[in-house]
Amino acid sequence: MTSICSIMHRRQALRLAAGAALGWQSIARADDAAPVIGFLDPRGSADDFAAQFASFHRGLRERGFIDGENLTIAYEWGGNSFDRLPALAKKLVQRPLSLIVASGGSRVALIARAETSEVPIVFLAADDPVKLGLAASLARPGGNMTGINYFNVQLYAKRLDLLCKLAPGLSRVAVLVNPADTAAMAPAVGEVEAAAPAMRLKVVVVKAENDREIEACFKDLRQRADALYVGGDAFLHSRRAKISALATANGLPAAYPQREWAEAGGLMSYGTNFSEIYKELGNYVGRILNGDKAGELPIQQPSRFELVFNLKAAKALDLAIPPMLLALADDVVGE
């Protein structure tokens, strides 16, 4: 005869098994219900901007979202080809998405906007989003878009002025841009050419959209220019170590758009801290996933810009950084 205790143990085991089954079903439903967002970027992979990418995920975590746990991110990488982005954006909007992240600059934001007016989009833009047609106003963008204007265009003249103070006596400056990124190239060339006459500079425009063209543009650059100015662009940023090394090897004092360039060996950088920018990008994504409307979130603009010098590069160029500039520096690397 089966004891009462045995019956109770079996019943308890059945209840535990049933509870476990319900728990697994609950977890499965939670996974199924996790929001899916698209991430559109022109670079080859997250390795090309690892620190910034990690900051994006920190921003998401601050709002309670972790990729692979309660969030799914569909990544579409352009492989350093802007021409691929429209098809990748179209591929993304065919999925049921909660949101699209347009990472990598103004042109990416414009491509994402062309594909959907319904799915919320959070973007990064180097130029004024209102001027670009991405927003009705900075305070209330309207529509399905919001994001961060990281002020790259507005800093071009200041960065050029700092280069002239760092290396007095310059007469010709080469501006390196990526012709495939038209949204970044046009303002870079335009702003530098507009600022150059007041500094008595002649501007030489050089273009590169792949590794072969980067190497080619440096072959006779020392004969055509005595300094280098690099425009903001996701592909050029991914080749920052290569470009910085070529500039130093060719004896060209150079100015770059953000601190990662100086950390990679570049002489001087002045611009927005992009790790902070990507953290705020993740934060904004989390806010929208938590219920805020994209068109009602004001477009953010940074209030702080970093001046960074690389002493090792300065020594290689036999260049003494003026004490006045060193006093203004936010950081000095390569010591």
Let me know if residue 14 belongs to a domain: no
Q: Phi and psi (nearest 5°) for 176?
A: -95, 125
Which CATH number is 97's domain given?
Answer: 3.40.50.2300
- Judge residue 25's burial from the number of C-beta atoms within 10 Å of its C-beta, 0-12 exposed, 13-18 middle, 19 or more buried: exposed
Our count of domains for the chain comes to 2
Let me know if residue 238 belongs to a domain: yes
Same domain for 205 and 325?
A: yes
Same domain for 178 and 227?
A: yes
Q: Is residue 266 within 8 Å of residue 238, measured between CB atoms?
A: no
pLDDT in tens, 1-31: 344 334 344 444 434 333 433 332 333 333 4
pLDDT in tens, 122-178: 999 988 899 999 999 999 999 999 999 987 677 889 999 999 999 999 999 999 999
Residue 224 corresponds to which tokens in the numbers above?
Answer: 């055509």
Whole domain around residue 265: which residue ranges? 153-271+305-333
Same domain for 195 and 324?
A: yes
Same domain for 194 and 94?
A: no
The predicted structure's pLDDT at residue 279: 96
Report in angstroms the alpha-carbon separations of 277 from 39, 56, 79, 235, 301.
Answer: 16, 8, 22, 18, 9
Same domain for 199 and 315?
A: yes
Helix ranges (H only) for 116-168 are 129-132, 156-166
Let me know if residue 145 belongs to a domain: yes
Let me know if residue 17 belongs to a domain: no
Same domain for 111 and 170?
A: no
Reported as a pLDDT band with limits 50, 70 and 90, residue 33 is: confident
Same domain for 252 and 312?
A: yes
CA–CA gap between residue 183 and residue 104 (Å, rounded): 11
Let me know if residue 4 belongs to a domain: no
Write out 185-202 in H/E/C secondary structure: HHHHHHHHHHHCHHHCCE
CA triplet 29, 34, 36: central angle to 5 degrees? Answer: 140
Same domain for 313 and 179?
A: yes
Same domain for 218 and 182?
A: yes
Same domain for 210 and 310?
A: yes
Percent helix, percent strand, percent coil in the chain, to nearest 5: 50, 20, 35
Same domain for 206 and 291?
A: no
Q: Is residue 221 within 8 Å of residue 174, measured between CB atoms?
A: yes
pTM of the model: 0.80
Summarize the confidence of residues 169-193 as an average pLDDT. Answer: 92
Let me know if residue 193 belongs to a domain: yes
Let me know if residue 22 belongs to a domain: no
Same domain for 245 and 226?
A: yes
How much of the chain, in percent, has pLDDT values that exceed 70?
Answer: 90
Where does the chain show beta strands of DSSP type E? 36-41, 72-77, 99-102, 121-125, 145-149, 172-177, 202-207, 227-230, 254-256, 268-271, 306-310, 331-333
Let me know if residue 65 belongs to a domain: yes
